[in-house]
Chain A
Amino acid sequence: MPSVTLLGQAVIAGVLIGGLYGLLAAGLSLSWGLLKYINVSYFALAFLSAYLTYQFGTFNGIAPWWSAVILVPAFFLLGVLQHWTFMRLRVTELTSLVVTFGLAVLIESLIQWIWTADFRKYESGFSGLTSKIGPFFVPTLDFLALVSATILAIATWSWLRWTYVGKALRAAAMDPEMASAFGIDHRRLSFLLSGICSAYAAVAGIFIALIATLAPSEIGTWIGVAFAVVIIGGVGNPLGALLAGILIGFAESVTMAVTQPAWAPLVSFTILIVLLLWKPRWT
């Protein structure tokens, strides 16, 4: 057994990485639940955003917050464009997984072509920042990722829950025909939502650039966790995705601390399978 301090440190690291999982899974969760597109291209888009943040920061001297100002709206537009294309091509819920997987592979190849398959690390100058709380170290960037993820998740959840547009999106996901009978133009709203999903990928990517080491092959390793997060958190529920992200991050990190790092990838799937068998009310 590791020491209490070590375990506490593992818990902190896990909870913090959960914020990043939540950010990364939000796009898939929202588009699956409300647009009926199982869109896995958001993971590749997140890495595109990460590489661009790295590129801007390393070669153009653009600080990450300025990258955010550029990338978030740019990715919003990219999401709108993507949705427009999917509608033109009549992509359905069934074909969406295949189409977006293909798109993800394409983006991955593009990244590999531009930045090669080598590992890249964005030296932002903030990587080493930590605060000390009692005996524990809290890495500042990871903490910032969790705070951003929390703010965005609460904002998105409230927007879906309390506003007319949010209610309309949920209603249209259940019965688009009846929603349209009451004046809901689902097409227009779906552009807005797909933009938001893609903007989430941009935010996730900026934090991935700041926190993690980049390689095109890393995209695949995040997809499994993100799927687990989406399903555990409840499809279409941004707050659920964050909580599930934190749960998985916590469980992975504690598993790594008490057993071996090699077991960590199994954690999310074990939790997923247990929850699918147990079927709690919220999934």
Chain B
Amino acid sequence: MLLEASHLNIAYGDAPAVWDVSLDVDEGEIVSVIGPNGAGKTTLINALAGLLRPRGGALGIAGTDLMSVASHDFCRHGIALVPESRRLFAAMSVEENLDIGGYRSAARRHRNESLEQVYALFPALRERRRQIAGLLSGGQQQMVAIGRALMARPRLLLLDEPSLGLAPAVVNDVFAAIGRIHRGGVAILLVEQNVPKALEIANRAYVLEQGRIVASGAPEPLLARAEIREAYLGFAN
């Protein structure tokens, strides 16, 4: 197992947001987490990226215990995050954003190779590499956010709602890119509100509601359940 999280409890101050969540991602998998607004999806994925520290439970990657690893060392263990609403370094250029992604020393050695991979995946970024990231369109900013994470040369890519606020055609591009990244050998954990897309691309999925996992499994059996179709696709039959 690549990523293993068991019985995670995560809270903001005294307010618990995620309880007793166990989840894993194997090499070569795409795993989706779906759930309604406020379910705790961002909380969970940020904890997996080291941004938030769980109160309890266990978290590990490829046999390494992450609970005692410093936040800024998570990326050394092959975890990279594409955060909700992108969080680019808005005043910096596209290529500077990508360089921050490739900051860790092991990634720096492959800088040019990684840049070529990112520009091959998103040709629009090559021509805009000197532009200020904050002035790009939403879709291009999402490409920078994904590219930045790829520059870290992750084994596990965490994506938090990459389709948020994007036009349908751009959403298709983003999902096509996720597919290509996955075929390149990177495991993916995807949080999405776009449930049809998230389940179409996934090998497995978890349903998170009010901070707890309420269902999990392969997409087809999940979709075979009427209550899940009703809650997430808007129809029961």
Contacts and interface: CB of A to CB of B under 8 A. Distances in A.
Q: Do A and B belong to a common assembly?
A: yes
Interface of A: 164, 167-168, 170-171, 174-175, 177-186
A186 B71 CA distance: 11
24 contacts: A164-B99, A164-B103, A164-B108, A167-B99, A167-B103, A170-B91, A170-B96, A177-B51, A178-B83, A180-B71, A181-B50, A181-B51, A181-B71, A181-B74, A182-B80, A182-B104, A182-B152, A183-B76, A183-B103, A183-B104, A183-B152, A184-B100, A184-B103, A186-B72
B94 to A, nearest CB: 13
Nearest to B106: A183
B90 A181 contact: no
A174 B90 contact: yes
A78 to B, nearest CB: 26
A182 B148 contact: yes
B72 A171 contact: no
A182 B51 contact: no
Contacts of B73: 183
Interface in B60-109: 70-76, 80-81, 83, 87, 89-92, 96, 99-104, 108
Contacts of A170: 89, 91-92, 96
A170 B99 CA distance: 12
Contacts of B92: 167, 170-171, 174
B109 to A, nearest CB: 12
Contact of A181 (B81, B96, B102, B108): B81
B49 interface: yes
A185 B50 CA distance: 13
A164 B151 CA distance: 14
Interface of B: 49-51, 70-76, 80-81, 83, 87, 89-92, 96, 99-104, 108, 148, 152
The 3 closest A-B pairs by CB, nearest first: A183-B104, A180-B72, A183-B75
B51 A167 contact: no
A192 to B, nearest CB: 15
A178 B71 CA distance: 10
Given A174-B91, A175-B89, A177-B51, A182 B101 contact: yes
B201 to A, nearest CB: 24
A168 B72 CA distance: 12
Contacts of A182: 75, 80, 100-104, 148, 152
A167 B73 CA distance: 18
Given A171-B100, A180-B71, 4 more contacts: A167-B92, A182-B80, A182-B104, A183-B103
A177 B152 CA distance: 16
B49 A181 contact: yes
A182 B81 CA distance: 9
